[in-house]
Amino acid sequence: MNGGRSIILNRIREALRNNPAPRPHTSHSQTEAAAGHNGHAQREWLPQVGTTLPEQIDLFAKISEGLRTECHRVPTIEAAREVLAKLSAESGWKKIGSHSHHDTDSLLQGIGLPVVRTEKGYAIDDLESCDAGVTGCEVLVAQTGGIMVSVETAGGRALSVLPPHHVVIARTSQMVPDLTAAFEHVKRKYGKQFPSFLSFITGPSRTGDIERILVLGAHGPKRLTVLLID
């Protein structure tokens, strides 16, 4: 059906045959070996992350502040519920989106608002008119202040991006030091059966397309709140 496949593959093989390219000029002799065999060589060069959990939580909180992610550290799920109730009252939420997941279910107990649940499918306009989307996550990434979400932990693809306020419930046990560890986590958890969607969310949606001036809430959420349970 697609003759283009063999055309392109032939062109590639022809271009590479007996036609070696000079290796890149690198000053670090060990990188060559490392790049070939050890997928974790990048850790040597990427930003430093502390080895203990408190250090990682502090780093995550510090980077979050710079990103304008609102990170609340709470001792218990009950305390998280109070923060959520406060957010809801302040912003005058009328309807929220969420999905069934152990922590989101527990968090939304007694919220007293209509909840659009996405895990079994939903009408787009119904979700679009929600004031907030409440999701879980796979892991939190200390190095970048990132939140890794997936289909399973964020109720599909759209719940964490369509409503104007995204609230994430997470536990400190979900903290990982860096992106490499986040990838190791999903490989361990899913084997080869990855969800069709995995995303690192690093701060609320933003743009600088007008005069390079930062504006939050370009197309995705204007606010991002992390409720981090110790």
Partner 1 sequence: MATQASDFQTLSRRYTADKPFRAFIQKALGGYYTKRDENKANFRDWQGARDLAAETKYEAVNHLDKYLLEFEQKITARGAKVFWAPNAEAARDYILKIAKENGVRSIIKSKTMTSEEIHLNDALEKQGFGVFESDLGEYIVQLRKEAPFHLVFPAMHLTRGQISDLFQKELGSEATDEPERLTMIARDVMRRKYCEADMGISGTNFAVAETGMISITENEGNARLTTSLPRIHVALLGIEKVLPRLEDLSLFLPMLATAGAGQTMTCYNTMYAGPRQPGEPDGPEQMHIVLLDNRRTELLADAEQRDALGCIRCGACLNVCPIFKNVGGYSYGTTYGGPIGSVITPHLRGLKDWKHLSAASSLCGACTEACPVKIDLHHHLLQNRRNGAKAAPNPLEKITFGGFSMMMGRPALYRLAAGLGRIFQPLQGLVNGTILDPLRAWTGSRKFPKLASTSFHEQWRKERGGRK
Determine the distance from the C-alpha atom of residue 92 to the mean position of all C-alpha atoms in its chain, rounded to a whole number.
26
Question: Smallest gap, in angstroms, from Cβ of residue 85 to partner 1?
Answer: 26
Q: How far apart are CA 133 and CA 11, in angstroms?
A: 48
Could you tell me which residues are beta bridge partners of residue 117? 98
Question: Do the Cβ atoms of 123 and 88 come closer than 8 Å?
Answer: no
* Cα 115 to Cα 100, 105, 112, 129, distances in angstroms: 11, 11, 9, 11
Among 70, 128, 171, 185, binds partner 1 (CB under 8 A): 128
19-78: contacts with partner 1 (CB under 8 A): 19-28, 31-32, 34-36, 39-42, 44-48, 63, 66-67
Q: Name the residue nearer to partner 1 (CB basis): 15 or 89.
A: 15
Could you tell me which residues are beta bridge partners of residue 167? 134, 225
* Beta-sheet pairing, 175-176 with 139-141: parallel
Q: How far apart are CA 43 and CA 27, in angstroms?
A: 17
Question: Smallest gap, in angstroms, from Cβ of residue 215 to partner 1?
Answer: 4
Count residues near partner 1 (CB under 8 A).
Answer: 91
Question: Which residue, chain included where needed, has tokens 């995705």?
Answer: 220
Question: Smallest gap, in angstroms, from Cβ of residue 150 to partner 1?
Answer: 9
Question: Smallest gap, in angstroms, from Cβ of residue 60 to partner 1?
Answer: 12
Could you tell me which residues are beta bridge partners of residue 132? 96
Stretch that binds partner 1, among 72-80, 105-113, 124-132, 167-175 (CB under 8 A): 124-132
Question: Smallest gap, in angstroms, from Cβ of residue 20 to partner 1?
Answer: 6
132-161: contacts with partner 1 (CB under 8 A): 144-146, 151, 155-158, 161
166-225: contacts with partner 1 (CB under 8 A): 178-180, 182-184, 187, 194-213, 215, 217-221
Could you tell me which residues are beta bridge partners of residue 226? 71, 168
Q: Name the residue nearer to partner 1 (CB basis): 88 or 163.
A: 163
Question: Smallest gap, in angstroms, from Cβ of residue 145 to partner 1?
Answer: 7
Q: How far apart are CA 71 and CA 62, in angstroms?
A: 9
Q: Name the residue nearer to partner 1 (CB basis): 81 or 223.
A: 223
Q: Name the residue nearer to partner 1 (CB basis): 90 or 209.
A: 209
Q: Name the residue nearer to partner 1 (CB basis): 68 or 83.
A: 68
Distance in Å from the first CA to the final CA of the chain: 56
* Beta-sheet pairing, 139-141 with 146-150: antiparallel
Question: Smallest gap, in angstroms, from Cβ of residue 189 to partner 1?
Answer: 13
